[in-house]
């Protein structure tokens, strides 16, 4: 029986570990080897001269000067490709709604008319060059493709005004011998991603759009003419033992130095972008949006009966016509898994599920490590997550200048670490320094019983320690259901199956809520809070009385080292509109 607890939760050692972690993170280079410059061939940031330039505000004025002059990011912004091996021009046009007319791909033979020529151009492209998708001579602005394999040394550049649409025919994505794509099953292994790459210095870049058409009616398989991709996702909430076999937009596998720059990924049938086993990733200046206004209405004011069914009797015969972030499922923004040396900066993410979710599962490359998440804005998401898969370990994550507005959507979080004993592992040296949140159910949550799960036969025990949350502000919002005690705290270490793993080395420093939060309720006998050790200080903790009231019950320890009277973290510039005209709702 292993026990981790009080003797390891103390004071100065934590600060030394955090400082060491931050020093290591300062050297993170992400996908720095990608050969990249500006649209016209003129360096967009002077990188060719080695002048170490500041970032360009790709968010259209949404970033304050302090973010754009961050020394940690100076000279690290990617640029667009220097050499284009092939420019392909569009032959299709988006309709007035920004979509493709159904007649374009109603016939099976027309489901992916551009796939072959895009793939041929990629296959023929020399190392270090790019295939560029551009508008046609008569204003054509759309490509339509099924799965593409992006060579590891070739970058895909989607030009401004151009949209690469994904096929809505599940058969195009079908992986031979696996579960049927476009249906539910006991596992979700049936579909290829729209774009798959094993990187070796490449990327997906440009000011264009990749649209997965999550709200489009399927044209093959069991639900042809009956459901959309997102309706299939909703079946996971209404059928037992159901996983959705829907395609991801971008899958990045087993390589090094990948860049995702300035691109918009939207309306993914499932996850927007996922990495696995990659050393060196830069995600910079992107927009991830689902559902877009093309699949919704302003303010998400969908008519009754028009949205996916997520409770009660399953819908298997009616395609939905309007979608909200709460009714599309498993549409995570960016899930960096089993990867090292990541830089995620200046992104806007509104995807309905996890905005960013760091995962570490069955890794062959070691723990997820050396991760910097700097200057990001999350909208309708489940928040910033580590987990739920942590069995291969997470060691060294820094999060700074993160804003999250949950818009009162159910199951929303600010910063959370989530895992359980079916997929648990060691999570350590995590620092949040500068975060604003509002209208979320759980602003801070660290839990080893994710989904109230316990007693798994896999016995992969969670072990979470040395986590610092500093300069964190939670703001009450008029009319929000998550003000005051509606905003819930969750700190729960692991004690099951003869194993006792405290949350230890957990520090709250200048953590201020506008009013006093409550505690999460649980269905398990393991209460909240329990088996955890928290240190408060040196800055203020506005709900100190709540923590102290729970002290010494259920193995919950609190060390009060508050000595400073720091001002609450400044959130005056944190919440801004999503920088896209097709966002149905932003800060309203």
Report pLDDT digits (tens) over 280-332: 999 999 999 999 999 999 999 999 999 999 999 999 999 999 999 999 999 99
pLDDT of residue 585: 87
C-alpha distances (whole Å) from 9 to each of 15, 22, 507, 563 are 11, 19, 9, 19
Q: Is residue 578 part of a domain?
A: no
Residue among 272, 382, 465, 466 flagged as catalytic = 382
Q: How confident is the model at residue 461 (pLDDT cuts 50, 70, 90)?
A: very high
Q: What is the mean pLDDT of residues 540-554?
A: 98
Domain with residue 159: its CATH number is 2.160.20.10
Higher pLDDT, 578 or 21: 578
Nearest to 232 by CA among 354, 318, 353, 335: 318
What is the residue whose two structure tokens read 């320690």? Answer: 465
Tally of CB atoms within 10 A around 470: 20
357 and 368 Cβ atoms separated by less than 8 Å? no
* pLDDT value of position 314: 97
- For residue 540, report the phi and psi dihedrals to the nearest 5 degrees: -70, 155
Digit-coded pLDDT (tens) for 325-371: 999 999 999 999 999 999 999 999 999 999 999 999 999 999 999 99
| Whole-number pLDDT of residue 361 | 96
Average pLDDT of the segment spanning 370-393:
97
Is 205 a domain residue? yes
Give SS3 for 337.
strand
Asked if the model's pLDDT at residue 27 lies above 60, the reply is no
Residue 5 has pLDDT above 60, yes or no: no
* Distances from the Cα of 572 to the Cα of 324, 326, 473, 568, angstroms: 28, 27, 11, 11
Which segments within 379-531 are labelled E, that is strand? 384-387, 394-405, 413-418, 426-438, 442-447, 463-475, 488-492, 494-496, 499-501, 503-513, 518-519
Looking at the domain assignment, is residue 210 inside a domain?
yes
Say if residue 513's pLDDT is above 70: yes
pLDDT of residue 20: 37
Burial environment of residue 62 by CB neighbours within 10 A (0 to 12, 13 to 18, 19 or more): middle
Q: Are strands 532-536 and 556-560 parallel, antiparallel or unpaired?
A: parallel
Exposed / middle / buried, residue 496 (Cβ in 10 Å: 0-12, 13-18, 19+): buried
At residue 179 the predicted structure's pLDDT band, cuts being 50, 70 and 90, is very high
pLDDT value for 59 = 60
| 3-class DSSP state of 450 | helix
Query: pLDDT-derived band of residue 62, with 50, 70 and 90 as boundaries?
Result: confident
Quick check: is 102 catalytic? no
**Which region among 49-63, 102-116, 154-168, 419-433 has the lowest average model confidence (pLDDT)?**
49-63
Q: Which of the residues 211, 231, 335, 353 is marked catalytic?
A: 353
Q: How far apart are CA 71 and CA 48, in angstroms?
A: 19
* Cα separation, 250 vs 22, whole angstroms: 30
β-strands 394-405, 368-378: how paired? Answer: parallel
Residues 251-264 pLDDT 10s: 999 999 999 999 99
Is 340 within the bounds of a domain? yes
Answer yes or no: is pLDDT of 19 > 60: no
> Taking a C-beta distance cutoff of 8 angstroms, is the pair 190, 178 a contact?
yes
Q: How many domains are there within the chain?
A: 1
Q: What share of the chain is helix, strand, coil (3-state, %, to 5)?
A: 15, 35, 55
Per-residue pLDDT at 135 exceeds 80: yes
- By C-alpha distance, which of 27, 48, 111, 13 is closest to 369? 27
Give the pLDDT score at 241. 86
Average pLDDT, whole number, for the chain? Answer: 91
Q: Are 67 and 346 in contact (CB under 8 A)?
A: yes
> 157: part of which helix (H) or strand (E)?
strand 155-158
**353 an active-site residue?**
yes
Distance of alpha carbon 415 from alpha carbon 395, whole angstroms: 16
Asked if residue 37 is part of any domain, the answer here is yes
Inter-residue contact 48 to 3 (CB < 8 Å): no
Is residue 286 within 8 A of residue 263, CB to CB? The reply is yes
Q: Is residue 375 very low, low, confident or very high in pLDDT (cuts 50, 70, 90)?
A: very high
Cα gap 371→132, rounded to integer Å: 30
* CB under 8 A, 24+ apart: contacts of 524-527: 524/449, 524/452, 524/454, 526/449, 526/454, 526/492, 526/495, 526/496, 527/492, 527/554
In-domain check, residue 193: yes
Least confident of 57-71, 370-384, 423-437: 57-71
Is 313 contained in some domain?
yes
Domain housing 259: 3-560
For residue 57, what are its two tokens?
């505000």
Q: Is residue 245 part of a domain?
A: yes
Query: Can you tell me the mean pLDDT for 175-196?
Result: 97
**HSE-up of residue 237 (Cα within 13 Å, Cβ side):** 16
What band does 411 get if pLDDT is binned at 50, 70 and 90?
confident
Distance CA 83, CA 26 (A): 30
Q: What is the 8-class DSSP label of residue 19?
A: H
Q: What is the percentage of the chain residues whose pLDDT exceeds 90?
A: 87
Distance CA 287, CA 299 (A): 19
Asked whether 226 and 249 are in contact (CB, 8 A), the reply is no
pLDDT at residue 571 greater than cutoff 50: yes
């Amino acid at each position: 029986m292993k026990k981790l607890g009080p003797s390891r939760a103390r004071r100065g050692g934590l600060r030394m570990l955090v400082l060491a972690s931050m020093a290591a993170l300062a050297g993170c280079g992400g996908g720095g080897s990608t050969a990249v410059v500006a649209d016209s061939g003129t360096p967009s940031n002077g990188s060719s001269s080695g002048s170490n330039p500041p970032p360009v505000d790709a968010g259209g004025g949404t970033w304050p000067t302090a973010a754009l002059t961050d020394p940690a990011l100076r000279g690290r912004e990617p640029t667009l490709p220097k050499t284009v091996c092939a420019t392909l021009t569009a032959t299709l046009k988006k309709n007035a709604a920004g979509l493709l007319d159904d007649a374009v791909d109603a016939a099976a033979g027309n489901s992916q008319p551009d796939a072959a020529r895009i793939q041929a151009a990629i296959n023929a492209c020399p190392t270090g060059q790019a295939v560029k998708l551009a508008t046609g001579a008569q204003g054509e602005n759309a490509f339509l493709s099924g799965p593409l394999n992006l060579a590891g040394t070739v970058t895909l550049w989607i030009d401004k005004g151009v949209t690469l649409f994904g096929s809505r025919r599940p058969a195009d994505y079908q992986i031979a011998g696996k579960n049927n794509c476009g249906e539910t099953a006991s596992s979700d292994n049936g579909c290829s991603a729209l774009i798959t790459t094993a990187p070796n210095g490449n990327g997906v870049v440009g000011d264009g759009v990749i649209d997965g058409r999550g709200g489009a009616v399927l044209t093959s398989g069991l639900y042809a003419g009956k459901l959309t991709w997102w309706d299939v996702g909703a079946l996971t909430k209404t059928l037992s033992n159901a996983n959705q076999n829907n395609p991801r937009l971008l899958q990045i596998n087993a390589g090094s130095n990948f860049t995702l720059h300035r691109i918009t990924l939207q309306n993914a049938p499932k996850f927007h972008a996922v990495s696995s086993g990659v050393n060196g990733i830069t995600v910079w200046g992107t927009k991830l949006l689902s559902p877009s206004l093309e699949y919704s209405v302003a303010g998400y004011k969908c008519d009754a009966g028009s949205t996916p069914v997520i409770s009660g009797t399953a819908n298997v015969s009616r395609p939905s016509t309007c979608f909200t972030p709460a009714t599309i499922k498993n549409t995570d923004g960016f899930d960096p898994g089993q990867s090292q040396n990541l830089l995620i900066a200046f992104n806007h993410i509104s995807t309905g599920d996890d905005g960013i979710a760091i995962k570490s599962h069955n890794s062959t490359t070691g723990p997820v490590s050396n991760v910097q998440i700097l200057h990001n804005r999350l909208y309708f998401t489940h928040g910033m997550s580590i987990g739920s898969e942590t069995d291969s370990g997470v060691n060294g994550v820094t999060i700074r200048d993160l804003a999250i507005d949950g818009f009162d959507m159910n199951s929303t979080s600010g910063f959370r670490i989530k895992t359980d004993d079916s997929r648990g592992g060691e999570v350590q040296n995590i620092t949040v320094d500068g975060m604003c949140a509002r209208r979320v159910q759980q602003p801070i949550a660290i839990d080893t019983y994710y989904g109230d799960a316990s007693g798994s036969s896999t016995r992969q025990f969670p072990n979470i320690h040395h986590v610092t949350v500093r300069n964190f502000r939670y703001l009450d919002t008029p009319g929000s259901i998550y003000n005051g005690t509606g905003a819930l705290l969750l700190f729960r270490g692991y004690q099951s199956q003869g194993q006792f793993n405290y949350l230890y080395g957990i520090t709250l420093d200048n953590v201020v809520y506008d009013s006093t939060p409550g505690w999460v309720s649980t269905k398990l006998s393991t209460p909240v809070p329990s088996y955890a050790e928290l240190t408060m200080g040196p800055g203020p903790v506005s709900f100190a009385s709540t923590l102290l009231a729970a002290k010494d019950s259920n193995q919950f320890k609190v060390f009060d080292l508050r000595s400073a009277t720091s001002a609450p973290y400044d959130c005056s510039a944190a919440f801004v509109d999503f920088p896209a005209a097709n966002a149905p709702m932003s800060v309203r």
